[in-house]
Amino acid sequence: MGIVVTVMIAIAGCNQSGGKVAARTDSIPKGDTVMSCTSNLPSRFAATASTDSIVASGKSSYAGMVKIPGGDYQMGAADKDGRPDEYPQHPVHVDGFYMDATEVTNAQFMEFVKATGYVTTAERTPNWEELKKQLPSGTPKPADSLLVAASLVFTPPAKPVALNDVSQWWQWVKGADWKHPEGPASSIKGKENYPVVQVSWDDAMAYAKWAGKQLPTEAEWEWAARAGLTNQPFTWGSEAVEKGKPKANIWQGHFPDHNTATDGFARVAPVKSFAPNAYGLYDIAGNVWEWCADWYRSDYYTQATKKAVNPPGPSVGYDPDEPTVPKRVVRGGSFLCHASYCASYRVSARMKTSPDTGLEHTGFRCVKK
């Protein structure tokens, strides 16, 4: 089938935790190692989807996009609030481009699926015979009950839990996919203008190809999020996130057990629920994480020796928290971001996810040159 569902392999090592699996989330304390039951597995493998063979390029349009001028900036954290992978700041030039004003919506993704018949990663039943060809010999087969089409759903606990165990609030749910983002009983009916979620990087790439667009590079994404401001921590400037009117769909209250939803939303919000940034980009902070084109390397910024021009990111991924799992960059934070320990709505905040993983808080937007 050409697709490896990374989280299926994680499950093989997670049975003691009741079938829950760990995944990257917003709630990693700054500077801490990401701890999860996937961390000690000998290997996982993130396959590349052969999207070229199944999705033809569709008609291309600048509708719904805003112009982002080219320019130079310092990429990375200007203050001391960043995680280690946000340093050092380094000069970058980005040519101008167009960017979707909003995250790609369910309505847009539906149009793509209807036109192409595309089936997302989360909707495909993992085939163990195919899966094991891409794994170290001796990798144990996950239980058949887990080798099912599924995805990761935010499942808040009833009481406070240790924040170094993301399996406390992420659950592998059979039947969860982009049309059922919170599990099989949920739907996107009436949510046409919500961002599509439960889409893997491969799914996002397939959509972008069909739309005649690309995923943004990490450098393009950060430049667009900075929206012409210089060295400001947020897309809106420097005002603290909790001051004034709600600025983005993030978490208020105590994570992950109690969300006061004072911004109006406990989970995903419709696009354009909050004010745009100076470039006209909505929800570039918060709501759902946004896939970027780049591989993730924790030390990528330390390799910058001179001004990078339209940097495409590293040639291979490397995450020291899970060295055997190549990952792609995600940016912007989500409705699960909380000011006290994550703050990934900061413009320079970086996170990473294996490309075949779908999550309830992860979507994307596209760019076009």
Question: What residues line the site for Ca ion (CB under 5 A)?
Answer: 283, 287, 332
Looking at the Cβ atoms of 167 and 362, the one nearer to Ca ion is 362
* Least distance (Å) between residue 284 CB and Ca ion: 6
The SS3 of residue 98 is: strand
3-state secondary structure 303-338: HCCCCEECCCCCCCCECCCCCCCCCEEEECCCCCCE
Residue nearest to Ca ion (CB): 332
> What distance in Å separates the CA atoms of residue 322 and residue 324, rounded to the nearest whole number?
6
Rg (CA), the chain: 19
Question: What is the separation of C-alpha 331 from the centre of its chain, rounded to a whole number of angstroms?
Answer: 6
Nearer residue to Ca ion within complex by CB, 252 or 287: 287
Nearer to Ca ion, 277 or 287 (CB): 287
Looking at the Cβ atoms of 72 and 192, the one nearer to Ca ion is: 192
In this structure, are residues 293 and 217 in contact, taking their beta carbons and an 8 Å threshold? yes
Smallest distance from the beta carbon of 288 to Ca ion, in angstroms? 5
Measured from the CB atom, the residue of 86 and 290 that comes closer to Ca ion is 290
Residue type at 164 in one-letter notation: N
171 versus 287: smaller Cβ distance to Ca ion? 287
**What is the crossing angle of helices 106-116 and 201-210, to 10°?**
70
Of 126 and 332, the one with the shorter C-beta distance to Ca ion is 332
User: Quick check: helix, strand or coil at residue 131?
Assistant: helix
Tokens 């982002």 identify what position? 68
Closest CB 207 distance from Ca ion, rounded Å:
16
What's the closest the beta carbon of residue 249 comes to Ca ion, in angstroms?
8
State the minimum distance, in angstroms, from the CB of residue 354 to Ca ion: 19
In the complex, minimum distance from the CB of residue 347 to Ca ion, in angstroms, rounded to a whole number: 12
- Classify residue 130 as left (phi > 0), alpha (psi -120 to 50) or beta: alpha
Neighbours of 162 (CB within 10 A): 8
Measured in whole angstroms, the distance separating CA 127 from the mean position of its chain's CA atoms is: 25
User: For residue 218, what are the CA distances in angstroms to 98, 300, 301, 309?
Assistant: 15, 11, 12, 13
- Provide, rounded to whole angstroms, the least separation between the CB of residue 116 and Ca ion: 24
Closer residue to Ca ion in complex, CB, 311/333: 333
Residue showing tokens 């599509």? 196
Per DSSP, the residues of 145-192 read TTSSSEEEEE---SS---TT-GGGTEEEEET-BTTBTT-TT---TT-T
Structure tokens at 304: 């910058």
- The minimum distance between CB 365 and Ca ion, in angstroms, equals 8
